[in-house]
Amino acid sequence: MITCLCHEAERLRCRARQLLADLGRCQHPPLRQRLQRELEQLQARRQELQRIARMLRRSSVVMDRLALALFEEVAARPLLGA
């Protein structure tokens, strides 16, 4: 489960990079709005993944603390920039 969450967090980052590049090239206002909305949805999902990471940290369900630490680190990475 944690591995899937890590992969999802990384996919969010990859898609955000694609969207940023597309936004830089796009000249069509309705398409730009759609791309911007998708970027906002990715950010909301990233925040949800961070909440899941905090919830898992507080629970006693997760046995692999190293995997959880990796997930927390991946989920905390910004979608864009640095």
Encoding tokens for residue 46?
């990233």
Contact (Cβ atoms closer than 8 angstroms) between residue 19 and residue 35:
yes
Q: What is the pLDDT of residue 7?
A: 95
pLDDT of residue 17: 95
Residue 82 placed within a domain: no
Can you give the pLDDT at residue 65?
87
Q: Cα–Cα distance between 12 and 28 in angstroms, integer?
A: 24
Domain that holds residue 41: 2-76
Structure tokens at 28: 């069509």
CB 55 within 8 A of CB 71: no
* Whole-angstrom distance, CA of residue 62 vs CA of residue 46: 20
Q: Domain count for the chain, please give it.
A: 1
Model pLDDT, residue 36: 97
The pTM of the full predicted model, rounded to 2 decimals, is 0.86
How high is the pLDDT of residue 27? 95
Q: Strand locations in 1-82, DSSP E? A: none
**What pLDDT, on the 0 to 100 scale, is given for residue 48?**
96
Residues of the chain with pLDDT under 70: 81-82
